[in-house]
Structure 1
Amino acid sequence: MINLKPAIEAGYTGRGVEVGIVDTGESVGSISFPELYGRKEHGYNENYKNYTAYMRKEAPEDGDGKDIEASFDDEAVIETEAKPTDIRHVKEIGHIDVVSHIIGGRSVDGRPAGGIAPDATLHIMNTHDGTKNEIMSAAIRNAWVKLGERGVRIVNNSFGTTSRTGTADHFQIANSEEQYRQALLAYSGGDKTDEGIRLMQQSDYGNLSYHIRNKNMLFIFSASNDAQAQPNTLTLLPFYEKDAQKGIITVAGVDRSGEKFNGSNHCGITAMWCLSAPYEASVRFTRTNPIQIAGTSFSAPIVTGTAALLLQKYPWMSNDNLRTTLLTTAQDIGAVGVDSKFGWGLLDAGKAMNGPASFPFGDFTADTKGTSDIAYSFRNDISGTGGLIKKGGSQLQLHGNNTYTGKTIIEGGSLVLYGNNKSDMRVETKGALIYNGAASGGSLNSDGIVYLADTDRSGANETVHIKGDLQLGGEGTLYTRLGKLLKVDGTAMTGGKLYMSARGKGAGYLNRTGQRVPFLSAAKIGRDYSFFTNIETDGGLLASLDSVEKTAGSEGDTLSYYVRRGNAARTASAAAHSAPAGLKHAVEQGGSNLENLMVELDASESSATPETVETAAADRTDMPGIRPYGATFRAAAAVQHANAADGVRIFNSLAATVYADSTAAHADMQGRRLKAVSDGLDHNATGLRVIAQTQQDGGTWEQGGVEGKMRGSTQTVGIAAKTGENTTAAATLGMGHSTWSENSANAKTDSISLFAGIRHDAGDIGYLKGLFSYGRYKNSISRSTGADEHAEGSVNGTLMQLGALGGVNVPFAATGDLTVEGGLRYDLLKQDAFAEKGSALGWSGNSLTEGTLVGLAGLKLSQPLSDKAVLFATAGVERDLNGRDYTVTGGFTGATAATGKTGARNMPHTRLVAGLGADVEFGNGWNGLARYSYAGSKQYGNHSGRVGVGYRF
């Protein structure tokens, strides 16, 4: 009914907020019930055993009888120590307990808490007189004093009197104005001494007035249950002291249908500071039956609990801010607008958590305090005749379309506009106004910062609209960027500092000849652009700003910047000087690729027809002097206007080195598998053997601060057999999966390969080997490209390897052998053409054929440990006799003619190899093997582990 769910789902519980509850009841609330345990309770009645006796003294008698002076002594404050399991039997649940539970009851044993702000700190002030079952005026006033001293900001008051009940020491409506006058006489007359304040606080009105004005407290009162046209007389203070409205809210009761509770008083003359809330409460304490109870006493705490949630979200809010937000966000019920029955309407807690919906009471001062890294948001549309005064160092964001007509003044921190704002604005020297996206506002006078920010990531140009005049003072700064247009309906008076950035997507594509880009237009520019006392520019990666020009046209005056693009190849070459050594080549190659593309785009733009422009992209964006259209223009423009500090990263991404690098890593891994087959031919076992092996690889390439990593796994099955007295042959089938990662690119390679080998022994002369492998692979790539784009692609290929080796066995020690082996291997890689998806700066590669001749030389030492176990150690070298070049020619997917090629890391031509291993015969034809091998150089290292089993028939 009160739309509380959004506040709960957002996680607001009242944590950190202190709430005062001035009330009465027979029980001792926070001590008795686990739902309220751990809260602070201050009592008045000396008869309660749970309380330390409080001082009681009688004031001098007068014509109205005795008045009891209540004292809440700090020494008598009881901090309850009850725990949830400390449950005491309570015969009667008091009024104070139900009110406290509604505001901040906690969940116990999984039962619904029922409390709106269960984590708020409750200061429960029991003002029961102990004899007459009445709440005492003096006790109330002293409770307010104590709460004020403790810094409590929100106070619930579910009590009061009306003209129908004139007993106790409360005043009557008939004499309320006189009491107000007498209460403030001494204080307003200049007696600001402690005695003057004490005299003032001796009356209800005076006490309220003092705490509203000086302690920033918000008092929430129930309207009372006398079915009267006027509410509780304690709520009438603002009728006599208008400024007291900021600290008092009257709460009337409504039933579930939204109709006024028959017993509830109306808002009456307090309508402007009154709203309505449900009067029916259902509360359940531990070991009690649910309590069904009704009355405005239980309407007020609903508003109080909501105020606590609001203060948790906006801890800087004053009493004026809180009551404005609670009242103006209420759901209008009854007669349209504020009425004497329902006031502002039914409490809407969810809407209140989005800030005020109107400024009807004058200016709304938002002193958000804090620092610039803290931000608060108002998301309601705000109307009203008041204005907004922004103070404090933190940020306040306005997300609604606001129609309030008062002025907006920014004295400190920043105010961000996400929507339209009708108000005229003033920015002081320590303030900042941020127009986010295509926001608009009234006239603007600024000696602070005016910042035109971006929101549209698609690159669409956004216009900030000032529906009035613009005055930029000499102390202020206008921050904007190329592609943003500040449109002024009236006269623009320029001054102060201009900071123009060429960074950002919306500036559009820049060609070599340059163009004029407007940044401010007005019906009239009252001063020459040179009146900016200081002009600073922040060029993009390939965008340079030359000069400001002023032009006059039929629709007004315009200030523009003349801008042109730089040469990508030269810019990349300069960036490569500061790049890590391992990136220099790729950075230069990426710059060359981009320059080729932009030459094509320049020509395409100059010859474009309306038809080709229209079909280039459905989401085309236009700007005077520039025609950014199509995904390719947008992607290239984003690079042009990117941060120059990101140049190395961007140019490197445009080289797409991951294709060449991951292919080289795969070729190296297939070579390791072929070597495993070659080693298996050295067995002298007779008969047919069946082989099953698994091999794991981990490789790292590192050069000049740049790193690439490979991980791989291959499972193989095969056979080996003696095919003659001196000849052994083997064949295996392997399935492999590997990954390669570098910078912001990743590759996954899946392959299936056939491996075969034959060895012929020629006696003392030695032996000869022939090796062969053929595999197909699929390389799947995912990478970042350009300024802020992502591309994915896959490429298929084959790799064939042919090897010829010769070796000789030399006796070693008594039982071992030393084998010297050498030969050649030829790698032939063929790769299909491919095209990446997802980015106009993705790569479209041509087919590739590359052959590499590899020289092989090595030593192998074998040493039997027994007739069933042999140890092995190997060492050798591999060298590519011609360059292994897996770079891919082609062009960007968004180009039609421009060509280039991918980059490639400087993979080592010479690799050292070494290994250790053992073969073991298990018996009954079974055998096993284990191998560790290493291949690498100064920049590259591959570690491989292999285990397998075999069976000899």
Structure 2
Amino acid sequence: LLPLRERIRAFSKAPVPSTVADKDGDEQDIAGWAGMLRAARHGKLIVFAAGNENNYNVPMHSATLPYLFPDVLDRYLIVANLTPDDELHVTSTSCGHTASYCVSAPGTDIYSAAGNFISRTGGPITEAALNLGELTEEPDYREETGTSMAAPHVTGAAAVLMQRFPYMTAEQISTVLKTTASDLGAPGIDNRFGWGKINLKEAIDGPGMFITAADIPPEHYVPGSYTNTQFVANIPGVGGVLDAGTPLERQCSGPECALDIWRNDIGGHGGLTKEGAGTLVMTGSNTYAGPTLVNQGRLTINGSVTSDVSVQGEGIIGGSGTLGSLTVRRGGTVAPGNSVGTLNVAGDVSFAPGSRYVVEVGTDGQSDKLQSHGAAMIGGGEVAVTLENHNNLLTQNEVFTLHGQQYTILDAQQGVSGRFDSVMPNYLFLGTGLGYQWDKVLLNVGRNNTSFASVAQTPNERAVASAANTLAPGHPVYESILHSRTAEEARQAFRQLSGQVHADVASALMNDSRYLRDTLNGRLRQAEGLVGSPAIRANEDGAWVQLVRAWSHATGNSNATGYRASACGVLTGVDTAVNEWRLGVATGYTRSSLHGASGSEADSDNYHLAVYGNHQSGKLGIRGGVSHTWHRIDTKRTVNYGIQADHDTARYSAHTGQLFAEAGYSIRGSRLNLEPFASLTYAEFRNNSIAENGGAAALRGGKQHKNATVSTLGLRADKKWQLNQGMTVAFRSELGWQRLYGDRKRGVKLRFTGTDAQFKVNSVPASRDGMVLKAGAEATVNRNVTISLEYSGLLSQSYQDNRLNAGLSWRF
């Protein structure tokens, strides 16, 4: 055999013809053997039919190649033919001396593709006719029997497993097929059936055995085979590269590349090595004798393994099952449970310097735990505390508090020796410490000295944080902030909880009060015979109407977020001359809408009532009025930070009162009419109690008020031109400086449910100074048709208000 082996080895290393002659002149298919050897050594699985030699105990000579090259045995599978009754068919060759790499599969009366030669010329079916090209093959199907019908079952099963386990090698697929086969004949591996009948249902749940030479009966063992004692599960993660730098290099793309589950009970004398960044979960009762080495990624034991488990490098061991023993070396991590859970160890547990024990603490009083029936030897390492991925706390009225809790994280029946080097809470507001008893390690969790407000960066954040810090342990808002890992997470919570929309809507409605007084002043100027607002439509009896459509924007600053607002509606009134005065009354309805940050919104239905009047003394005009507006406010806001979420709504009433006066001096010129003016306004906003509906983040607020005094100094200019054919064009403009007196802050006091501690959250502050700008034009096409366009704006550092009115009037 030695010369034959050398000739096959030589041919396997270079291109060769399909057949060669040996030294005696006999042709042997050495080239074919060499090709199979080459394929096997490049990671291919070779599946052979055993042959059809009427139960002869020696399979086809090609199937014996592993005897010459035992290193490829685990990539060879020989297949015997079974009847429907799971008996070896009378024509099938037995597994014989290939039993250690032989399986059985159905191969009797298999409906299979076949073909028959037919003559193109109508002549006889002969080899000569075939060579002359006179024959063709007619495709057909028919029942066939033989190991060539059995082998495709194994090939197909292997293909299914290669898709099921995309990270496995050819030899591992072979191992899964062999070790999950249904035993036939004599128990274990035998001459007739080999490993038994392939069982794909079992195979898709993983290996049934980790094979070493000790698992092969001596009479079937091929010397030099089954030398690998560890089954390497290299689960690289989605996108990971397997067999890099070889002809089999490929990218692992299925979900099993990130997480796979083996459900079989695995035996054998071999062991398991976990490599790759992915996760392997084992749920069976595993009795394999070799060690379990976790070098990379996570191995989760939810069943049991009787072997000794060692974790090192970048490996993680977890789950809620049972281990034989546990050694955590430098770089290795223990993380019991699948979330919070207990990992049991039948023997001893040891931690080396540089090891890590990750303890997850739940919101129900439970924590991760190592339960050892042996002793625990702690030679250092770190305990890292994390919080369970809990549910949304804001949907609850009261939750379990972490403050002041104590957990048993390691329990060793035969005692604990040594200490961990450190404990890391991994949380901003939680402090942790370890306690040691004779047979236990305890974890104490409580508040540290970091206050909520100390990580806030803005006045609004500090106000919310200070109020939240007064909440009792167990309050969902308090506990949710307690879970913050970083300062930015905490600040996001403060911003989301602030309820700034209530301050925003109050500020916006105070700003909107200018629409009513501007309309009334414009109407009075119109009645004085000056060029008034072209958007105000009035008849000769003093009745008038104006449509309102406006947009405004407040720019956020380092404390408060900005918002966008709009208003639309109609204002109407009637006025008349009374001696030297003109007096009137006005009413109307507008609707204001506001959109703030983080999905907060507010709408207000506004109902207006005002009295106004003016007195003209020569060129001096005095105008003024008083108004009251009733608001029905609806707010809604969405709270989102981390996995916390709440949706809070409120409906409450408010009102705005204002008193305004203006003096203007009319200067009429041949080319342009001017009016320098000065105005003064006092406005006050009051809201009734605020009570949000929602979850634990819902806010409350009492009755509050705020006021503003505003002056404006400016100049108006207008001009009217009479054109041909009765057409007139009028132009009106205004430029002014607006000044705000007093406090610029626009805030509201709120509180969380369950506490009396209020916090004040501010909207964007009002601008101290601003520019008032108006421009309008009106064209009378004829006595019946008038076209008008008007712009009005208030421009300041943090607030911009713009109105645009276009109109077409047709009298008939």
TM bucket normalised to smaller: 0.7 to 0.9
Indicate the residue corresponding to 2:131 in structure 1: none
Label 1:55 to 1:884 Cα distance change in 2 as closer, same or farther (>3 A).
closer
Indicate the residue corresponding to 2:167 in structure 1: 316
Indicate the residue corresponding to 1:420 in structure 2: 303
Task: Identify which range, 333-342 or 474-483, moves more after superposition.
Answer: 333-342
Indicate the residue corresponding to 2:369 in structure 1: 485
Structure 1 residue 497: Cα displacement? 0.9
Indicate the residue corresponding to 1:760 in structure 2: 614
SS at match of 2:470: helix
Query: Is the 2:356–2:384 contact (alpha carbons within 8 Å) kept by the matching residues of 1?
Result: no
Indicate the residue corresponding to 1:559 in structure 2: 441
What do residues 587-628 of structure 1 show as CA deviations (whole Å, max 9, x unaligned)?
A: 322332133213xx4xxxxxxxxxxxxxxxxxxxxxxxxxxx
Structure 1 residue 822: Cα displacement? 1.3
Structure 1 residue 830: Cα displacement? 1.0
Aligned length: 696
**Match of residue 889, structure 1, among 722, 744, 750:** 750
Query: Is the 1:712–1:739 contact (alpha carbons within 8 Å) kept by the matching residues of 2?
Result: yes
Give the gaps of 5 or more residues in structure 1: 1-52, 71-137, 165-171, 180-202, 254-261, 265-278, 602-631
Label 1:787 to 1:263 Cα distance change in 2 as closer, same or farther (>3 A).
closer
Indicate the residue corresponding to 2:432 in structure 1: 545
Indicate the residue corresponding to 2:378 in structure 1: 494
Percent identity reads 13
Label 1:791 to 1:667 Cα distance change in 2 as closer, same or farther (>3 A).
same
Structure 1 letter corresponding to 2:478: A
Indicate the residue corresponding to 1:144 in structure 2: 36
C-alpha separation between the residues in 1 aligned to 2:759 and 2:182? 65
Structure 2 letter corresponding to 1:719: T
C-alpha separation between the residues in 2 aligned to 1:209 and 1:230? 29
**Match of residue 106, structure 2, among 243, 252, 255:** 252
Question: Which structure would you say has the larger Rg?
Answer: 2
SS at match of 1:509: coil
C-alpha separation between the residues in 1 aligned to 2:73 and 2:207? 25
What do residues 386-420 of structure 1 show as CA deviations (whole Å, max 9, x unaligned)?
A: 36522434233206354444455225203331623
Structure 1 letter corresponding to 2:275: G
Query: Is the 2:261–2:282 contact (alpha carbons within 8 Å) kept by the matching residues of 1?
Result: yes
Query: Is the 1:586–1:655 contact (alpha carbons within 8 Å) kept by the matching residues of 2?
Result: no
Structure 1 residue 817: Cα displacement? 2.9
Structure 1 residue 826: Cα displacement? 1.5
What do residues 494-525 of structure 1 show as CA deviations (whole Å, max 9, x unaligned)?
A: 223132437557896355xx564432222132
Kindly indicate whether residue 261 of structure 2 is the aligned counterpart of residue 379 of structure 1: yes
Label 1:858 to 1:307 Cα distance change in 2 as closer, same or farther (>3 A).
farther
Structure 1 residue 779: Cα displacement? 0.8
Kindly indicate whether residue 550 of structure 2 is the aligned counterpart of residue 695 of structure 1: yes
Structure 1 letter corresponding to 2:625: G
- Pairs within 5 Å for 1:100-249: 138=32, 141=33, 143-144=35-36, 147=39, 151=42, 153-154=44-45, 161-164=51-54, 173=56, 175-176=58-59, 203-206=62-65, 210=69, 213-214=71-72, 217=75, 223=81, 229=88, 236=95, 239-240=97-98, 242=100, 245=101
Kindly indicate whether residue 685 of structure 2 is the aligned counterpart of residue 798 of structure 1: no
Query: Is the 2:328–2:334 contact (alpha carbons within 8 Å) kept by the matching residues of 1?
Result: no
Indicate the residue corresponding to 2:21 in structure 1: 59
Query: Is the 1:591–1:651 contact (alpha carbons within 8 Å) kept by the matching residues of 2?
Result: no
> When the two structures are superposed, what TM-score results if normalisation uses the length of structure 2?
0.73
Query: Is the 1:826–1:854 contact (alpha carbons within 8 Å) kept by the matching residues of 2?
Result: yes
Indicate the residue corresponding to 2:393 in structure 1: none
> When the two structures are superposed, what TM-score results if normalisation uses the length of structure 1?
0.63
Structure 2 letter corresponding to 1:830: N
Indicate the residue corresponding to 2:454 in structure 1: 574
- Pairs within 5 Å for 1:639-718: 639-646=481-488, 648-649=490-491, 652-653=494-495, 656-668=498-510, 670-671=512-513, 673-674=515-516, 677-678=519-520, 680-681=522-523, 682-683=525-526, 684=532, 686-687=538-539, 688-703=543-558, 708-718=561-571
Kindly indicate whether residue 687 of structure 2 is the aligned counterpart of residue 830 of structure 1: yes
Kindly indicate whether residue 329 of structure 2 is the aligned counterpart of residue 447 of structure 1: yes
C-alpha separation between the residues in 2 aligned to 1:335 and 1:677? 104
Query: Is the 1:333–1:346 contact (alpha carbons within 8 Å) kept by the matching residues of 2?
Result: no
Structure 1 letter corresponding to 2:435: E
Query: Is the 1:851–1:884 contact (alpha carbons within 8 Å) kept by the matching residues of 2?
Result: no
Kindly indicate whether residue 469 of structure 2 is the aligned counterpart of residue 469 of structure 1: no
Label 1:476 to 1:851 Cα distance change in 2 as closer, same or farther (>3 A).
closer
Query: Is the 1:439–1:465 contact (alpha carbons within 8 Å) kept by the matching residues of 2?
Result: yes
SS at match of 2:258: strand
C-alpha separation between the residues in 2 aligned to 1:922 and 1:281? 93
Label 1:293 to 1:947 Cα distance change in 2 as closer, same or farther (>3 A).
farther
Indicate the residue corresponding to 1:392 in structure 2: 275
Structure 1 letter corresponding to 2:413: A
What do residues 850-870 of structure 1 show as CA deviations (whole Å, max 9, x unaligned)?
A: 131331314253444753342
Structure 1 residue 367: Cα displacement? 4.1
- Pairs within 5 Å for 1:357-376: 358-359=208-209, 361=211, 365-368=231-234, 370=236, 376=258
Kindly indicate whether residue 750 of structure 2 is the aligned counterpart of residue 859 of structure 1: no
Kindly indicate whether residue 806 of structure 2 is the aligned counterpart of residue 929 of structure 1: no
Structure 1 residue 670: Cα displacement? 2.6
Label 1:874 to 1:502 Cα distance change in 2 as closer, same or farther (>3 A).
same
C-alpha separation between the residues in 1 aligned to 2:506 and 2:301? 51
Kindly indicate whether residue 415 of structure 2 is the aligned counterpart of residue 525 of structure 1: yes
Structure 1 letter corresponding to 2:770: L
Structure 1 residue 304: Cα displacement? 4.0
SS at match of 1:907: coil
Task: Identify which range, 289-298 or 750-759, moves more after superposition.
Answer: 289-298
Indicate the residue corresponding to 1:127 in structure 2: none
Label 1:910 to 1:224 Cα distance change in 2 as closer, same or farther (>3 A).
same
C-alpha separation between the residues in 2 aligned to 1:517 and 1:379? 31
C-alpha separation between the residues in 2 aligned to 1:290 and 1:56? 28
Indicate the residue corresponding to 1:120 in structure 2: none
SS at match of 1:161: coil
Label 1:69 to 1:299 Cα distance change in 2 as closer, same or farther (>3 A).
closer
SS at match of 1:643: coil
Label 1:660 to 1:708 Cα distance change in 2 as closer, same or farther (>3 A).
same
Structure 1 residue 383: Cα displacement? 0.4
Structure 1 residue 780: Cα displacement? 0.8
Query: Is the 1:488–1:523 contact (alpha carbons within 8 Å) kept by the matching residues of 2?
Result: yes
**Match of residue 705, structure 2, among 844, 850, 853:** 850
Structure 1 residue 719: Cα displacement? 3.4
Structure 2 letter corresponding to 1:762: Q
C-alpha separation between the residues in 2 aligned to 1:723 and 1:368? 92
Query: Is the 2:432–2:446 contact (alpha carbons within 8 Å) kept by the matching residues of 1?
Result: yes
Higher strand share: 2
C-alpha separation between the residues in 2 aligned to 1:672 and 1:492? 76
Structure 2 letter corresponding to 1:263: D
SS at match of 1:592: helix
Structure 1 residue 768: Cα displacement? 0.8
Structure 2 letter corresponding to 1:801: G
Query: Is the 2:358–2:386 contact (alpha carbons within 8 Å) kept by the matching residues of 1?
Result: no
Indicate the residue corresponding to 1:121 in structure 2: none
Indicate the residue corresponding to 1:910 in structure 2: 768
Give the gaps of 5 or more residues in structure 2: 1-14, 116-136, 213-228, 241-256, 362-366, 391-398, 527-531, 722-727
Query: Is the 2:569–2:591 contact (alpha carbons within 8 Å) kept by the matching residues of 1?
Result: yes
SS at match of 2:414: strand
SS at match of 1:590: helix
Structure 2 letter corresponding to 1:537: M
**Match of residue 409, structure 1, among 292, 312, 315:** 292
Kindly indicate whether residue 497 of structure 2 is the aligned counterpart of residue 594 of structure 1: no
